[in-house]
């Protein structure tokens, strides 16, 4: 039996017990030790993004391997691991061209007639597995390509936030944007993902790092993590301020909120030849574009799902950055809470005044 936060219907999570199956040939059973609360989970909880219910959300997790399937070769019992929602197959077009985050995981999905992997504790009905992980649970049963082993000296509460927020934010700087030392980076939105991008921009040697957020506490956090300048996104002259700071526009504008206005702002503050990268999960009817003069000026617009990560390689490197004192995960984590307080954690997220909340399991 395992305790889990179950999304029974749109609106909130209910604490209940579930039973996980034994690991299949390529599956790994993990004792979950910590899981971050991500805004992406909130989109599913509030119904902005549809998903069959009931299901267990949660996808930003770390834990210890309890058991592995007969064909698993990448991890073993006792390994400390971080999970990743972008499980990869290893031989599709995207994988073999180095774009593993775009892989649809065809070989990691279970057959439609496969028995359920998570059941109600009484065995009465299956419970859906969200994003192939369902980490708001004391245990996870996932494909071996959805986790990677890490240094056991790494604290697992900090390791958890690398699984999504840091992989996405830092990965965007290193992989999608390939920031060159001296370039100017602006980050719109200073939640977990945005703060990770700011910290990574500092590590990459960006000349100026501009944090853009309407909340003063988050702008302060951003400056602790490496922002050289901070701008209130709600001021009437926000664009003018950024243009003045950057000397005519930024090389990279990263949208880390998931709102139309913030995506439009990211495009507005680009210099000629600059790139806007959209990370946030915007409402499904939103569109972002470049005008004719933007295109003539060589400006570019891109998405970067999960920071276009190479998870098995990137994750251990990010752990190493933390262990060497380069990556600041302690500032990103605002609080540690038990599973029973998960709904309170999401209410704090809606308020927008703090960074990451992390559920820690005994």
Assess whether 83 carries a catalytic annotation. no
Assess whether 310 carries a catalytic annotation. no
Assess whether 177 carries a catalytic annotation. no
Among 95, 103, 137, 164, which one carries the catalytic annotation?
A: 164
Among 26, 39, 40, 251, which one carries the catalytic annotation?
A: 40
CA distance linking residue 169 with residue 198, whole number of Å: 8
The residue ranges of DSSP E strands in the chain, in sequence order, are 2-9, 12-20, 27-36, 55-56, 61-68, 80-83, 118-120, 128-129, 139-143, 147-149, 184-188, 208-212, 229-231, 250-255, 270-278, 300-303, 333-337, 356-360
116: alpha, beta or left? (left if phi > 0; alpha if psi -120 to 50): beta
* Residue 244, CA distances (Å) to 237, 250, 299 in order: 11, 10, 19
Question: Pick from 204, 218, 211, 66: which is nearest to 147 by CA?
Answer: 66
Q: Which two tokens stand for residue 81?
A: 């691991």
CA distance linking residue 160 with residue 318, whole number of Å: 12
Among 39, 43, 229, 252, which one carries the catalytic annotation?
A: 43
CA distance linking residue 128 with residue 205, whole number of Å: 43
Assess whether 38 carries a catalytic annotation. yes
Among 38, 84, 103, 147, which one carries the catalytic annotation?
A: 38
Q: Where is 264: in which H helix or E strand?
A: helix 260-268
- In a 3-state reduction of DSSP, which class is residue 194? helix
Assess whether 190 carries a catalytic annotation. no
Among 59, 145, 229, 251, which one carries the catalytic annotation?
A: 59
Question: Pick from 239, 200, 199, 235: which is nearest to 216 by CA?
Answer: 235
Catalytic residues: 38, 40, 43, 59, 164
């Amino acid at each position: 039996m395992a305790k889990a936060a179950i999304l029974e219907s749109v609106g909130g999570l209910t604490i209940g017990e579930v039973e996980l199956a034994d690991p299949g040939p390529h599956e790994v059973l993990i004792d979950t030790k910590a899981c971050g609360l991500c805004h992406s989970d909130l989109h599913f909880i509030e119904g902005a993004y549809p998903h069959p219910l009931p299901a267990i959300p949660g996808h930003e997790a770390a834990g210890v391997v309890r058991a592995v399937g007969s064909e698993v070769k990448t991890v073993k019992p006792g390994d400390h691991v971080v999970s990743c929602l972008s499980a990869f197959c290893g031989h599709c077009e995207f994988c073999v061209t180095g774009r593993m985050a775009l892989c649809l995981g065809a070989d990691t999905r279970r057959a439609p007639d496969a028995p359920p992997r998570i059941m109600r504790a009484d065995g009465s009905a299956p419970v859906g597995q969200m994003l192939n992980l369902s980490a708001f649970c004391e245990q996870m049963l996932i494909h071996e390509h959805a986790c990677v082993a890490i240094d056991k000296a790494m604290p697992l509460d900090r390791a958890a936030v690398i699984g999504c927020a840091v992989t996405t934010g830092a990965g965007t700087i290193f992989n999608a944007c390939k920031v060159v030392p001296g370039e100017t980076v602006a980050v719109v939105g200073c939640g977990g993902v945005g703060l990770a991008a700011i910290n990574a921009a500092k590590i990459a040697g960006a000349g100026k790092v501009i944090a853009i957020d309407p909340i003063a506490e988050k702008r302060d956090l951003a400056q602790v993590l490496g922002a050289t300048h901070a701008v209130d996104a709600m001021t009437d002259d926000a664009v003018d301020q950024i243009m003045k700071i950057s000397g005519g526009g930024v090389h990279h504008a990263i949208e880390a909120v998931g709102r139309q206005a913030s995506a439009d702002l990211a495009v507005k503050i680009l210099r000629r030849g600059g790139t806007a990268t959209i990370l946030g999960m915007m409402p499904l009817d939103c569109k972002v574009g470049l005008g004719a003069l933007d295109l003539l000026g060589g400006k570019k617009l891109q998405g970067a799902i999960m920071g276009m990560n190479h998870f098995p390689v990137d994750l251990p490197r990010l752990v190493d950055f933390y262990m060497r004192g380069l990556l600041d995960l302690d500032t990103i984590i605002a609080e540690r809470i038990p599973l029973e307080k998960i709904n309170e954690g999401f209410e704090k997220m809606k308020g927008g005044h703090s960074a990451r909340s992390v559920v820690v399991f005994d």
